Amino acid sequence: MTHPPYLYPPYKSTVLRAPAQEPVMPKLGPDSVELTAPVFGHQELGRRDHDLTVQHSGEPLGERIIVTGRLLDSAGRPVRDALVEVWQANAAGRYAHLGDIHPAPLDPNFTGAGRCLTDDDGRYRFVTIKPGAYPWGNHHNAWRPAHIHFSVFGTAFTQRLVTQMYFPGDPLFAFDPIFQSIPEQRDREKLISRFDMDTTVPEWALGYQWDIVLGDTPVEAQ
Amino acid sequence: MNAASPLTPSQTVGPFFGYALPYDAGPEIVPAWRPDAIRVRGRVLDGAGEPVPDALVEIWQPDETGEVHRRPGGLVRDGNDFAGFGRCGTDPDGGYWFSTVKPGATGDAAPYIAVLVFARGLLKPVFTRLYFPEDDAAHAGDPLLGVVPAERRATLVAEREGERRYRFDIHLQGERETVFLGF
Ligand SMILES: [Fe+2]
């Protein structure tokens, strides 16, 4: 099983939110509605939506990075014109969200939300700053490894995927129940981006590559 | 790379998507003033019956005639075109709402709206369907409702709250746990 189970008690919020009943499969599987997905257009996105460093009057603090990769189906074919949305903490590990009470500074020049459509090659690309690690209340001394949240659409509603991209070598992986909720180590590693010198732009920003592979669904058969 | 399973694993949407994913036009698939508009509302609840204030509900549906529209317009609505996609973050009471049209039937299925829920504490989303109470005659032959145990079938059928108004609560867990789909 690639995906985490619903119930993973080390991540406490799963305990009262994980469905307990077996999922039900319609007699004929997903139907024609569920096997299609919404289509989004360039005219619906803002010109600066993919660059999280230019959405305010000044530049955000932190390490400027480029995050790019390809959105693929399980056969390795590019998924084109797909909506990719991202959100993340700032360099200090604080979200521009009213509910975030971590006593780290907000950055007036960083909101941390972006979106783009994949190109003909299935490629997405964001310019942003490297997010900081942040504490959360799950257990004593709980810290999330640095991550960028991703939301992607495929060509079927059943392929809808929300996940998190991590950075190589993070010392917090071993202590993070959200990362560890994925049963197999080889599957966890699929969420770790790769530092890439070819993506890195001289005198400007470090580059990371991370491909996303959609299945029939995030809740695929075991 | 593991050739057997190349899929990217799911992770929770977490608690902090609220400033990034919901958008103003998200719940209003058609303007509420349209005479054919219906209103769907409900709450997302956990296993203790407590509201889930940090859930994201998405719906996807065909138009009144059962046609699935595959064209842009789900993010920026122009008031005329129907895109069929809606998104609503839950409020502090776990509440969500949509203004849409009642979908037409597709294939053998009774009319339904596809519903997807993400939340903090959900490591992967739950899929379900919202069916309409006035279609009970068509429910007997529906490919999903037909395989759902009779005592759980009601969790998939919205309640009628008034003229063109429906209520559909989503119980993630507990005695009234909503039927979730295995895909
Ligand atoms: Fe996060």
Q: What does the pLDDT read at residue A28?
A: 83
Asked which of A66-70, A86-90, B58-62, B71-75 is least confident by mean pLDDT, the reply is B71-75
Rounded to the nearest angstrom, the minimum Cα separation between A173 and chain B is 14
- Cβ distance of A74 and B123 shorter than 8 Å: no
B47 CB neighbour count, 10 Å cutoff:
17
The CATH fold of domain B37-171: Protocatechuate 3,4-Dioxygenase, subunit A (2.60.130)
Per the model's pLDDT, the better-predicted residue between A205 and A98 turns out to be A205
Our answer to whether residue A56 is catalytic in this structure is no
> Does B126 sit within 8 Å of A38, measured CB to CB?
no
- Tell me which chain A residues have a C-beta less than 8 angstroms from the C-beta of B20: 85-87, 112-113, 149
Band (pLDDT 50/70/90 cuts) for residue A216 is low
Q: Pick the catalytic residue: A11, A95, A124, A208?
A: A95
Position B2 pLDDT exceeds 50? no
Determine the distance in angstroms separating the CA of B115 from the nearest CA of chain A, rounded to an integer: 10
In the predicted structure, residue A220 carries a pLDDT above the cut 80: no
Question: In the 3-class helix/strand/coil scheme, how is chain B assigned residue by residue?
Answer: CCCCCCCCCCCCCCCCCCCCCCCCCCCECCCCCCCCEEEEEEEEECCCCCECCCEEEEEECCCCCCCCCCCCCCCCCCCCCCCCEEEEECCCCCEEEEEEECCCCCCCCCCEEEEEEEECCCCCCEEEEEECHHHHHHHCCCCCHHHCCHHHHHHHECEEEECCEEECCEECCCCCCCCCECC
Helix (H, G, I), strand (E, B) or coil at A220: coil
**Widest distance between CA atoms in chain A:** 57
CB contact under 8 A, A218 and B180: no
| Residue A166 appears among annotated catalytic residues | no
Residues 74-113 of A with CB under 8 A from B: 74, 76, 83, 85-87, 89, 95-100, 111-113
Contact (CB, 8 A) for B16 and B141? no
- The domain spans of chain B are 37-171
pLDDT of residue A221: 42
Closest Cα partner for B7 from A213, A204, A218?
A213
How many angstroms separate the CA of residue A44 from the nearest CA in chain B?
A: 6
**Each residue of B76-86: b (16+ CB within 10 Å) or e?**
ebeeeebbbbb
Averaged pLDDT for residues A127-138: 98
Residue A219 has pLDDT above 90, yes or no: no
Which residue among A38, A186, A190 places its CB closest to the CB of B84?
A38
| Percent over 90 (pLDDT), chain A | 91
**Residue A139 annotated as catalytic:** no
Identify whether the C-beta of residue B164 lies closer than 8 Å to the C-beta of residue B132: no
Chain B residue numbers with beta carbons less than 8 Å from the beta carbon of A19 are 126, 172-173, 177-178, 180
Nearest CA in chain B to A166: B11
Q: pLDDT digit string (tens) for A95-110? A: 999 899 999 999 999 9
Can you identify the CATH homologous superfamily of domain A48-202? Aromatic compound dioxygenase (2.60.130.10)
Cα-based distances in Å from B157 to A8, A53, B5, B40: 29, 46, 35, 12
H/E run at residue A116: strand A113-117
Annotated active-site residue A8? The verdict is no
Dihedral (CA of B17, B18, B20, B21) sign: positive
